[in-house]
Amino acid sequence: MNSLKLGFVLSAVSLAATMMSGTAVADEHFAEITKVKAKKAFFGSSYSIYATVKSSDKDCNHYVNWWEAVSEDGKLLYRFVLSHPHSREQPFNRWGSTKSINDDTVFYVRAHMHPFGYSNQGMKGSVKTGFEPVEIPDGFAENLANEGELSSYCDASKDQ
């Protein structure tokens, strides 16, 4: 086998191994929400949202800077702001609490990658029904990138 063919075969094998290990992302410019769980919090009237994010974080110039819950009509229900890349922790899990949902509220969970923007891949569901992967329409609630709490600080030293 000539060296060109051998190089191609080795690259394909390497890519397949990376994808099977669960560390590859379909498009390195966007993050994927791979799992969501939402449930009534133990205390008070809040609900907890747990999200698993898979991304190609590299440094403060290329990382997931938040994930968020968005209503079907494009209103921000909750945002979890991240202050550092997670290149050594993939995928990673984070959770937060909100009073903006109830058992029947149907919403999307999606990630925002600095500096590229929102992924079209996300999860949709409710506390009652659970969550399934969905493709989010192009341009859906893009205005939210400039609303609510936004990430303005990144500390790469916390990427451990």
Instruction: Give the C-alpha separation, 30 to 32, whole Å.
Output: 7
Q: What are phi and psi of 157, to 5 degrees?
A: -65, -20
* Whole-number pLDDT of residue 15: 34
* Whole-number pLDDT of residue 6: 34
Tokens of 159: 């990427």
* Whole-number pLDDT of residue 12: 37
* Whole-number pLDDT of residue 1: 52
Q: Which residue has the tokens 């939402």?
A: 38
**Which domains does the chain possess?**
27-150 (2.60.40)
Mean pLDDT of 15-38: 64
How do residues 88-133 score in pLDDT, each as one tens digit? 767 889 999 999 999 999 999 999 999 899 999 999 999 999 999 9
How do residues 51-95 score in pLDDT, each as one tens digit? 999 988 788 988 888 999 999 999 999 999 988 777 676 788 999
For residue 134, pLDDT over 70 is answered with yes
Residue 156 gets which letter from DSSP?
G
